[in-house]
Structure 1
Amino acid sequence: MKIRVATYNIHKGVSSIGNRPRVLALKKAIGLFGADVVFLQEVQGKHDHFSAKFGAETRGRRQWPDGAQHEFLRGDMSHSAYGMNAIYDHGHHGNALLSSFPIASQTNDDVSDHAYEQRGILHCILETETCKVHCYVVHLGLFEAGRGRQTDLLIQKVLATAPPDEPVIIAGDFNDWRNNLSARLREALGVCEVFDELGKSNMIGDLARRLVGRGKTVNPARTFPAAMPLLRLDRMYVRGFKVEQAQVLHGPTWARLSDHAPIVAHLALS
């Protein structure tokens, strides 16, 4: 079985400067992924202010959907799940999963480290034609100590819910710009980051690392800010899959949609 997977922080469906609506363009862009499964962060389940401001029809179309963003954005994909994390007077947002495969079950665990950042882990089990696939949509906090505690909770969650013989995909915005979490996830869960897995085929680079004493390193892609990616914030970790291809989508089009660039990967069940 081969599947195409993407992860994308959509910045609540508005531009990072000026809060201009981007939901219609995001739907088209997500369709361009050609993905079977899409992991989304900062998805607006409800926002009364934006609905009132942008929901009216302009030039024959609405700029803001009537319902939740995850239902609107799934397009031709048949299934979606939403995990509500941040709740406020005029709405809420969280993580979401869009899937061409049936979602057999979903749970959302609160992993907020303090009252000012509401974070969660959305776990969905997909029923594919070959096997069950465990998907964990992640958006970790801005502070390093909190991210460490949230990573411990993620590890506990995966160990408790995904049997060792069933494949796993963990993807999202880890905010781990110093890359302190990859080794912990790899050792505890047996996962690999998709760009690191591709790098294993680079024998010259691996030899050079060994000669300078660095050993095996994990090199996630740069995804933030989308206009000129410098920081390695977004990740995709897999277990039970071979990574055939992975890329960051960047350029003027993507820079206008969100402050993060999306990652798309081709995976084959191993």
Structure 2
Amino acid sequence: MTAAHPTSGPGRPESEFGALSTLRVATYNIHKGVQGVGPARRLEIHNLGHAVEQLDADLVCLQEVRKLNRQGERRFARWPEQPQADFLCPEGYRAVYETNAYTRHGEHGNALLTRWPVVRHGHEDMSDHRFEQRGLLHVEVTLGSQPVHAIVVHLGLIRGSRVRQVAQLQRYVEREVPPGEPLVVAGDFNDWGARMRPAMNDVGLVDLVMPRCATYPSRLPLAQLDFIYGRGLRPVSLSVPRGRIWARMSDHLPLVAEFALD
């Protein structure tokens, strides 16, 4: 884990921490900021910037975030000069990014955008085979004197890979997150039918099960592939933003959860 000074960088003033009664968490697979196929491909990263602001979440967990992509830079005149995590980061937030995958044209991974001061962050490779490069991003933030841990994941396409990756996640949590400190695990689980939920529940991570929370595919959502689990926090609401603009920006819809800080 890499330490960061807890009061450095953007964040809410200390006086606001005591008034916080809920923690709002969003997860969003942004599909590298580009949608469409072939000549119809279009750059959506600017729309995604507005979308992230509209989520109004304390923690925004992002997957398929590009640090750089030379092909995209050549193709799109409005390709941002900043890495996507920094470009999407609203004013007053801090971005933490770690690479999962290296490709011929660049690299991409997971990111966390947070309103709260960052204490430390780390990364662990979760690749199960050479055809899928996966990883977890762990960020510890502080809400006043209360540490809160957030882990961003993007699990594999093969069920066996996901089973092994969740087992690795369990070991990581046992090793890196103190039992008494609140924890959020969020991301694209690629988990058709929520089959990983019992394994997550086994280590105290629970989510809210709600109807109409399908997140994939964005144009005609049929399944919830994205999940937000919490430990030491009480889930109170779960929602999926819908509408034409949300359906255009990525192949996933975002998922937003609120947890009570009891």
In the TM superposition, residue 19 of structure 1 has moved relative to its aligned partner by 2.8
Tell me how large the CA RMSD over aligned residues is: 1.4
1:170 aligns with one of 185, 192, 196: 185
Partner of 1:91: 106
Partner of 2:223: 231
Task: Say yes or no: does 1:268 pair with 2:249.
Answer: no
Partner of 1:42: 64
Task: Say yes or no: does 1:8 pair with 2:28.
Answer: yes
1:30 aligns with one of 52, 55, 60: 52
In the TM superposition, residue 89 of structure 1 has moved relative to its aligned partner by 2.5
In the TM superposition, residue 263 of structure 1 has moved relative to its aligned partner by 0.7
Question: Is the Cα–Cα contact under 8 Å of residues 24 and 64 in structure 1 kept in the other structure?
Answer: no
* Structure 2 unaligned regions, length at least 5: 1-19
Worse-matched range after superposition: 12-21 or 33-42: 12-21
Question: What is the rounded CA distance, in whole Å, between the counterparts of 1:176 and 1:4 in structure 2?
Answer: 22
Question: What is the rounded CA distance, in whole Å, between the counterparts of 1:267 and 1:251 in structure 2?
Answer: 25
Normalised to the residue count of structure 1, the TM-score between the two structures is 0.85
Partner of 1:206: none
In the TM superposition, residue 249 of structure 1 has moved relative to its aligned partner by 1.1
In the TM superposition, residue 27 of structure 1 has moved relative to its aligned partner by 0.1
Partner of 2:6: none
In the TM superposition, residue 220 of structure 1 has moved relative to its aligned partner by 8.9
Question: Is the Cα–Cα contact under 8 Å of residues 227 and 251 in structure 1 kept in the other structure?
Answer: no
**Residue type matched to 1:250 in 2?**
R
**Residue type matched to 1:44 in 2?**
R
1:68 aligns with one of 52, 58, 83: 83
Worse-matched range after superposition: 239-248 or 134-143: 239-248
Matched ranges for 1:1-270 at <5 A: 1=20, 2-17=22-37, 18-54=40-76, 56=77, 63-187=78-202, 189-193=203-207, 195-196=208-209, 221-270=213-262
Question: What is the rounded CA distance, in whole Å, between the counterparts of 1:144 and 1:77 in structure 2?
Answer: 38
Question: What is the rounded CA distance, in whole Å, between the counterparts of 1:16 and 1:112 in structure 2?
Answer: 27
Normalised to the residue count of structure 2, the TM-score between the two structures is 0.88
Question: What is the rounded CA distance, in whole Å, between the counterparts of 2:134 and 2:59 in structure 1?
Answer: 21
Question: What is the rounded CA distance, in whole Å, between the counterparts of 1:167 and 1:220 in structure 2?
Answer: 27
**Residue type matched to 2:206 in 1?**
C
Paired residues in the alignment total 240
**Residue type matched to 2:33 in 1?**
G
**% identical aligned pairs:** 40
Q: 1:65 to 1:230 in 2, by over 3 A?
A: same
Question: What is the rounded CA distance, in whole Å, between the counterparts of 1:24 and 1:233 in structure 2?
Answer: 24
Question: Is the Cα–Cα contact under 8 Å of residues 36 and 99 in structure 1 kept in the other structure?
Answer: yes
Q: 1:124 to 1:156 in 2, by over 3 A?
A: same
Question: What is the rounded CA distance, in whole Å, between the counterparts of 1:96 and 1:16 in structure 2?
Answer: 23
In the TM superposition, residue 66 of structure 1 has moved relative to its aligned partner by 0.1
Deviations 1:126-157 (A, max 9, x none): 12214111100000000000111111101111
Question: Is the Cα–Cα contact under 8 Å of residues 3 and 268 in structure 1 kept in the other structure?
Answer: yes
| Structure with the greater alpha carbon radius of gyration | 1
